[in-house]
Amino acid sequence: MNTASRPPRWQTLVAFSIVYFVWGSTFLAIRVGVREVPPFLLAGMRFLAAGLLMFAWLVLKKTQTPSRREWMSAALVSTLIFVGDYGLIFWAEQRVPSGITAVMMATIPVFMSLFEIIFLRTQQLSLRLTVALLVGMGGVATLMSRSMSFGETPIDSTGAAFLLVASVSWSTAAILTRKLPLPASKPMSSAVQMLLGGVFLIIVASSLGEFRRFHAAEVSSGAWFALAYLTIAGSIVAFTAYTWLLHHESPTKVATYAYVNPVVAVIVGYFLGGEVIGSRTVLGTLLILISVVVITTIPKREALTPGVGEAEAAD
């Protein structure tokens, strides 16, 4: 990285603050929204609007549009990310507190490491990684256990199971993005995935009869604000800040959002959403975050099998 071209420190701090706090607070916004708008429909409205806005902006900037093959790849990835991940998150938040949802979704690095070990063989199972994976699984077990509630109301089993499926779906998509032809422009790739994901979510919402249960006139201003916040702040502003950071900071620093966002979500859910933070929530959150920190900071020479490190560095 060329230090001479580094931006002012205040810009970097603002960008990190946006990624940390906006993405962390979107979990409560989702919970507010799904109280009045059916989940897949709400998710579809969010990503269709954000995808259309971003795609139109990039076209106006003369960013190269995807080829037919890239559109097909984006369709597969967006199905996994937006229907299999976000759609299930929105559905689960009808039953699971926003803070717990964010913590459960922090398990994505755990599943990605397992996939890389078992299927891609791009990681080797070192002692450090093994312990980190076991700690992460222990955190999930703590949150889902009915015998280890520590006085808290047990979380909904179906909602928690859907969140695990969502994590697996996102992890699968992340693995596929390394193999599939996608637009070279990261913003364009994200825009078309959001656009397609929004369309697919609307189709799912229609097939589930969610349009029959949706009456726009009965939706409160709070729910509409939640949708606007998710669309503008969560999908456009925060993503722009995230992309900017990837160009100016190391990936390791940018990746810290993976364990800051859940903490922000738990705190926001407690103070603004009236959600309970008990001993079980604290213990499960700590175990999962410790696991994520260890997994995301393992040096490449320890995490990758011999010969793969050079190939990844070339990317």
Confidence of residue 123 (pLDDT cuts 50, 70, 90): confident
DSSP conformational letter for 36: T
Residue 259 scores a pLDDT above 50: yes
DSSP sequence for 89-146 = HHHHTTTS-HHHHHHHHTTHHHHHHHHIIIII--S---HHHHHHHHHHHHHHHHHH-S
pLDDT at 308: 29
- Rounded distance, CA 239 to CA 241, Å? 5
pLDDT at 147: 74
3-state SS class at 33: helix
Across the chain, what does the average pLDDT equal?
89
Confidence of residue 193 (pLDDT cuts 50, 70, 90): very high
Is the CB of residue 276 less than 8 Å from the CB of residue 143? no
pLDDT at 315: 38
Confidence of residue 124 (pLDDT cuts 50, 70, 90): confident
Q: What would the 3-class secondary structure string for 220-283 be? A: CHHHHHHHHHHHHHHHHHHHHHHHHHHHHCCHHHHCCHHHHHHHHHHHHHHHHHCCCCCHHHHH
Q: Select the more confidently predicted residue: 151 or 107.
A: 107
- Rounded distance, CA 260 to CA 265, Å? 9
pLDDT for 5-60, tens place per residue?
Answer: 778 999 999 999 999 999 999 999 999 999 999 999 999 999 999 999 999 999 99
pLDDT at 311: 29
pLDDT at 174: 87
Give the H or E element holding residue 186. helix 186-207
Confidence of residue 310 (pLDDT cuts 50, 70, 90): very low
Residue 298 scores a pLDDT above 90: no
pLDDT for 211-253, tens place per residue?
Answer: 999 999 999 999 999 999 999 999 999 999 998 998 888 877 8
pLDDT more than 90, % of the chain:
70
- Rounded distance, CA 275 to CA 284, Å? 16
Mean predicted confidence (pLDDT) in 161-174: 94
- Rounded distance, CA 231 to CA 145, Å? 34
Lowest mean pLDDT among 28-32, 90-94, 118-122, 204-208: 118-122
Residue 80 scores a pLDDT above 70: yes
pTM of the model: 0.89
b (16+ CB within 10 A) / e for 168-199 = bbbbbbbbebeeeebbebebbbbbbbbbbbbb
